[in-house]
Chain A
Amino acid sequence: MTCAEANRLIGPWLDDELDVRSVVELEGHVARCSTCGREKNELLALRETARERLPRFDPPPGLEERLLRTVREERLLRTVREERLLRTVRETAAPRRRPARRWLREVAMMAAAAGVAVAATSSLQRSTDPSGEIVDAHLRSLQAGHLTDVASSDQHTVKPWFQGKIDFGVPVRDFAAEGFPLVGGRLDMVGGRPVAALVYGRRQHLINVFVGPAADRDQPLRSISSRGYRVSSWAQGGLEYRLVTDIAAAEADQLVALLRAA
């Protein structure tokens, strides 16, 4: 075996990637040749340095939980999409069978009511947490397969949809250019009163903005964290806004600023 051949094989040998016959031949050569012996020792020194001295970048605390939450949200979104697709298929496949559809809708409403009841109970148990109700409403929107009543990124579709369903005007703006695309809107209940819920996306996360009539015309912005979610509330122009999300506080504040400036 020549030194050039040996040189090429020393790496794979130390990596346990060499066949037995070559190993025997190489061992013989390295034992006799000081140049190749030194090559072997250097590769081992390099490996030892890498394994023992290179900084190990451990995942920061909370990263695993954030990633797992992403998975859970994605799973819920998939369910929502599948249900929406199923509904579309049903409606286009059987356009005349209205009674059947109404029956389905009643079941869905009963299920939704049950969901509200459960959420209401759990928020009673957390009555010390003033933002608990908002977080519950946010979670409910993700879990009940009922994220939006009107799924559209077009503010001119979402805004008129609310008209006639609630007795106050809802400003609807899409902030896709700023990184917060409008996903849609729905009617929701918070504190026993109907509110408009606007849904925005941020990368893989969702943001609910609940809008309802304000007790005071203007209220300063307040933000608090509750169970890993950030709730920001304020009032302006006679409307009370409550924004809830699990994205980073700085990003949530960007959307708050956009909404307040709109």
Chain B
Amino acid sequence: MPASTSLSDFEQALRTHLAAAHHLARWLTRTQADAEDALQEAVLRAFRSFDRLRPASPRAWLLRIVRNCCYDLRKQHERDGETTLEEEALPPDAASPALGMRPENPETRLLRMADAQALENALRDLVPEYREVFLLREIEGLSYKEIAEVAGIPVGTVMSRLSRARAQLRVLIVAGENKETA
């Protein structure tokens, strides 16, 4: 019976990729409860289309749905009148004078492994569109093509967002550390 095989296949995929899905959801939402709500919704959406789509890469496919659910939840919070963080507006892809920084500026150099808290704070300060490409690449180890699939953007955009994410993170980390020592 196809229905029962699809359940076990689906369950299998869910079990295998739950840690990655949860991790992403946790980074793209503000609270644990939000992350779990987004996952719950994502699992339903995924289950409903699994039979029809039979995704070639279940990981990228599932992460894409989780990602979209996190964004939907955020939009919903915004509609409900909850405060939106100022810095969460995506700067235009064309230029990156965001925060008025240039990565090659020697004062903004990250010369050694950074403090975990500094990186975590910096990541939280990034717009989610930059945060997600960085996490998918460095933590989940996805290829540019897979990241493009998850985020629904062209590979070229993955490359430019990743480059800006890294540049901004370095500036934010150094700025954070300077503030602490000042």
Question: Which of A's residues lie within 8 Å of B, judged by CB?
Answer: 7-8, 11-12, 15-17, 35, 38-39, 41-43, 45-60, 63-64, 66-68, 70-72, 74-75, 203-204
Contacts and interface: CB of A to CB of B under 8 A. Distances in A.
B27 A71 contact: no
Contacts of A17: 143-144, 159
A126 B87 CA distance: 57
Contacts of A42: 109-111, 170
Contacts of A56: 23
A59 B18 contact: yes
Which of A46, A48, A63 counts the most B-chain CB atoms under 10 A from its CB? A46
Nearest to A44: B113
Interface of B: 3, 7, 10-11, 14-15, 18-19, 22-23, 26-27, 32, 35-36, 39-40, 43-44, 47-48, 103-104, 109-116, 119-120, 123, 134-135, 137-139, 143-144, 159, 162-163, 166, 169-170
B78 to A, nearest CB: 20
Nearest to B134: A50
Nearest to B138: A50
Contact of A58 (B22, B115, B170): B22
A19 B48 CA distance: 39
Given A42-B170, A49-B114, A71 B139 contact: no
A59 B11 contact: no
Contacts, number: 111
B8 to A, nearest CB: 11
B170 to A, nearest CB: 6
Contacts of A55: 116, 120
A54 B119 contact: yes
B39 A67 contact: yes
B113 to A, nearest CB: 5
Contacts of A12: 144, 159
Given A11-B162, A63-B22, A71-B14, 6 more contacts: A11-B163, A17-B144, A48-B113, A54-B116, A66-B40, A72-B7
A63 B10 contact: no
Contacts of B135: 50
Nearest to B10: A71
Given A51-B138, A56-B23, A59-B18, A45 B116 contact: no
A72 B43 CA distance: 11
Contacts of A60: 32
Contact of A45 (B110, B139, B144): B110
Nearest to B37: A203
Nearest to B103: A39
B71 to A, nearest CB: 18
B47 A71 contact: yes
A53 B113 contact: yes
B111 A75 contact: no
B11 A68 contact: yes
7 contacts: A15-B144, A38-B109, A42-B110, A58-B19, A63-B22, A74-B47, A75-B47
B111 A53 contact: no
Given A71-B10, A74-B44, A57 B22 contact: yes
Given A49-B119, A68-B14, A43 B166 contact: yes
A63 B144 contact: no
